[in-house]
Structure 1
Amino acid sequence: LREDSCWNEIVSSCIDLAGSSASDVRRQLNFVGVTYIEGFASFALPDTEDEDEDDDDDAPPNALCIATTNKEGETKTSTLRANKILIATGSSPFRPTGIPFDGKRIFDSDSINTLSYLPRSIAITGSGIIAIEFAKIFRNLGAEVTLIIRDNVPRNALMKIGLDKDISATLVADLVRGGIKIERGAQVASFDIPQNNMAAPIKITLEGRNGSDRPTGSKMELKVDSYLAAVGRQPNTQKLNLEKAGIELDE
């Protein structure tokens, strides 16, 4: 089979599995009597905070404004009140400035799921669990993988996110044993992406830092089919209007 045929089959299987899992969750919620609403929520917005108000002093104090859209594209807002509200809205990839994300050859840890081809080679920036997971996935699929980390010692980078020293060392050894190349003490300085030519490689210039294997500020060129930035995630709270709930953010 052609590589793209194999990759399309993998993507199709993942989509089917995700859809089946989501449907199963909905069935379980319905079975135990949990009301499921698909829409966007925020703590009472200024123009809706008085909507559906009543004079009942015993009404739950916390209000959410929920916007739902029907099949005809019409949006309806309603207010939901509760004594306690759990915020579990997930996260989105952190996108550093200077990286030309395009969803075709330059990806973050979400858009990589839309990859339409199996790259022969890929560079991944990051030293966390997500970066390592994708490094192992692509390596197991036969791609040449280069993991770019800023720390001089890969084990230390893993320890910074809470992994035990021995587990970190074992994990790094497993990556190297699996054929994943680790560019330590390095960061991406620039990208050269061929226009209208998916067959030509991306040229990534790496810059040495922290006096690693190469002198600080020294340059080297890396040629790959694709690039993934997996450098952390940020909470999906921007549109929740948290200040209305008296919640202060520390960053």
Structure 2
Amino acid sequence: MSGKSVVDIAVLGGGPGGYASALAAARLKASVTLVEYETLGGTCLNVGCIPTKALNRCAQAYQDTIKAGMYGVHADNVKLDFQKAMKFKNQTVNQLTGGVQYLLNANKVNILKGKGRLISNSSILVTKDDGSTEEVVAKNIIIATGSKEIEIHGFPIDGRNVINSTHALALSELPKKLAIIGGGVIGVEFASIFRRMGAEVSIVELSPSLIPNEDEETREALKWSLEENGIRIYTNCVAQSYEKCGIDGGMSLKIEQKDGSHVKIECDKILVCVGRKASVEEIGFSELGGDIKKGRIVTDNSMKTNLDGVYAVGDVTMSEQLAHVAYQEARTAVLNIMGKAYEIDYSAVPHCIYSSPEIGSVGMNEQLARKICSGAAVAKSSFQGNGKALIEGQGDGYVKVIYNKEDGRILGGSILGSKATELIAQLALAVNKKLSVMDVIKTIHAHPTLSEAVGEACLAAIGLELHG
């Protein structure tokens, strides 16, 4: 049994890029059908950004309670109830996915459950769970099919011994010993969460450093902090194989170091976090002549593909795989479809790592700035001189501003420390609007706040820092 519907815009995929596209289009009075075969919210809301940050909050609350004695608050026998932490995570996810469903319904977006495939640049064939099909004909199509986790040779994901991030977010018990393959953002965040919850954690990273795209000084400072908190880090190492040990479910992960020597890591679970790849298969785009490079859909800065009337947003494109990028791309695509010329600007994308301590960065890092700008300079402010940071017991870390000393323009920044993922918004605005250190200095920062450290770093650029 099949049917056909006609709308202004059809959106393929219900993750951040997809539901944001559908809502934006509906609010601009377009008729919209959203096609999704799994749960609304995509990876970010269901098995990515939101659940990991919910567990991150649980881990931090546990540590805050343990350390509350410094404030004169004493608690005996502090324990982490892992099942209750997972319940909190689930409740948070359910509330937010329910909210997305409500917003789509309230804005009269037609949600079509099933697997969609482009059969032309103006129609999507949707196969439903019962085998029936429906063709959605649209003036414009937005592809937002997201991404999926990459698997590596020798470590097939079985959901029990070798797991991916989705499995890690559904564990019924806290692993006693966890080995993580991959020292990028996802691996570092999971390491930080499970270590603070009480697990023994090891990270194995192929590159010479963790989070290799981040500012060199900042990533080295994070590595030092993670190791200080008991996380074992093996960089320049290759995960080769694993074997089960005994009847208690234990395993041994064999890794090869740069010098050719081998190390065995005892663990209960192996978590593979080596990145994500765009979901471009089986959606019909390439079969229609759609341009794909390095496994991702090519678009221009208005999010148009080479197929007339077809746009793409989010993880499936050539841009960075971040939910906030997907949101902006969704708005960009819809504005262009609705006749309002608009191009996305990727020059000031904030990067956030919810480790302990956090990292927030934007624009050029120090290494890149010094390569391409002869006047590149650095100014810093330590949280050790920030009253609010000391009150909160978070004096470790700093704000680092990269600027052009010839005109003072802020080129980028890196923040390591408490609330870094919140504070980076100030520097993101500065980079986006091409502000100078003097523009930030002229802005009065409230006292006592962590945000003062951003102003202090800019003051340091002209030698007028107050607490440096």
2:184–2:212 CA contact under 8 A, matched in 1: no
Q: Distance in 1 between matches of 2:243 and 2:172?
A: 21
Q: Which structure 1 residue ranges, 4+ long, deviate > 6 Å from structure 2? A: none
Q: Which whole-Å CA distance do the structure 2 matches of 1:77 and 1:108 have between them?
A: 32
CA contact (8 A) 2:242 2:254 kept: yes
Equivalent in the alignment of 1:208? 257
Where do 1:156-235 residues align within 5 Å?
157-160=210-213, 163-194=214-245, 197=247, 199-209=248-258, 215=259, 217-235=260-278
**Distance verdict in 2 for CA 1:85–1:165, change over 3 Å:** farther
Match of 1:67 in 2: 127
**Which residue in the other structure is 1:103 paired with?**
159
Question: What is the CA–CA distance in structure 1 between the aligned matches of 2:257 and 2:139, rounded to whole Å?
Answer: 53
Q: Which residue of 2 aligns with 1:149?
A: 205
**Cα offsets for 1:40-90 (capped at 9, x unmatched):** 11111xxxx7xxxxxxxxxxx511111223xxxx23211112232222112
Aligned partners of 2:257 and 2:124: how far apart in 1? 49
> 1-side partners of 2:249 and 2:159: how far apart?
17
Cα contact 1:123–1:147 (8 A) shared by 2: yes
| Structure 2 CA distance for aligned equivalents of residues 245 and 82 of structure 1 | 16
- Which residue among 232, 237, 240 is the counterpart of 2:280? 237
Match of 2:211, SS state, is helix
- Describe the shift of the 1:182–1:237 C-alpha distance in structure 2 as closer, same or farther (beyond 3 A): same
Larger CA deviation: 186-195 vs 135-144? 186-195
Q: Secondary structure at the match of 2:143?
A: coil
Q: Is contact 1:7-1:118 (8 Å) kept?
A: yes
**239-248 vs 95-104, which deviates more?**
239-248
Report the Cα distance in structure 2 between the residues aligned to 1:159 and 1:100, rounded to whole angstroms.
25
Q: In the aligned structure 1, how far is the partner of 2:102 from the partner of 2:194?
A: 33
Find 1:249's aligned residue among 266, 271, 292.
292
Scaled by the length of structure 1, the TM-score of the pair is 0.78
Q: What displacement does 1:123 show? A: 0.7
- The 3-state SS of whatever aligns with 2:156 is coil
The aligned runs of 1:45-124 (5 Å cut-off) are 61-69=121-129, 74-124=130-180
Instruction: Report the identity percentage.
Output: 24
Q: Which residue identity lines up with residue 33 of structure 1 in the other structure?
A: K
Aligned to 1:57: none
Paired residues of 1:93 and 1:110 also in contact (CA < 8 A): no
Q: Return the offset for 1:10.
A: 2.2
Using the alignment, how far apart are the partners of 2:238 and 2:202 within structure 1?
A: 12
Tell whether the 8 Å contact from 1:104 to 1:115 is kept in structure 2 after alignment: no
**1:103 touches 1:114 (CA, 8 Å); kept in 2?**
no
Q: Distance in 1 between matches of 2:276 and 2:239?
A: 19
In 1: Cα distance, 2:84 partner to 2:153 partner? 34
**6-15 vs 133-142, greater mean Cα deviation:** 6-15
Describe the shift of the 1:86–1:172 C-alpha distance in structure 2 as closer, same or farther (beyond 3 A).
farther
Alignment partners' CA distance in 1, 2:263 and 2:184? 23
Aligned AA (2:183)? S
Larger relative CO (CA 8 A, sep 6+): 1 or 2? 1
Asked whether 1:128 is paired with 2:188, we answer no
Secondary structure of the structure 2 residue equivalent to 1:83? strand
- 2:115 paired with 1:40: yes
Amino acid at match of 1:205: K
Cα offset for 1:95? 0.4
Which residue is equivalent to 1:17? 92
- In the alignment, the residues of structure 2 paired with residue 190 and residue 19 of structure 1 have an alpha-carbon distance, to the nearest angstrom, of 37
Partner of 1:58 in structure 2? Answer: none
Deviation readout 1:194-242 (Å, 9 max, x if unpaired) = 47x3x24201111112xxxxx2x21111111111110011112212021
Offset, 1:97: 1.5
SS in 2 for 1:11: helix
Q: Following TM superposition, by how much is the alpha carbon of 1:137 offset from its aligned partner in structure 2, in angstroms?
A: 0.8
Taking the aligned partners of 1:200 and 1:82, their CA distance within structure 2 comes to: 53
Q: In the aligned structure 2, how far is the partner of 1:86 from the partner of 1:126?
A: 32
Q: Tell me the C-alpha RMSD between the 2 structures.
A: 2.2
How far has the Cα of 1:179 moved from its partner?
Answer: 2.0
- Describe the SS at the equivalent of 1:119: coil
CA distance in 2, matches of 1:233, 1:103: 17
Residue identity in the other structure for 2:267: V
Between Structure 1 and Structure 2, the one with more helix by share is: 2
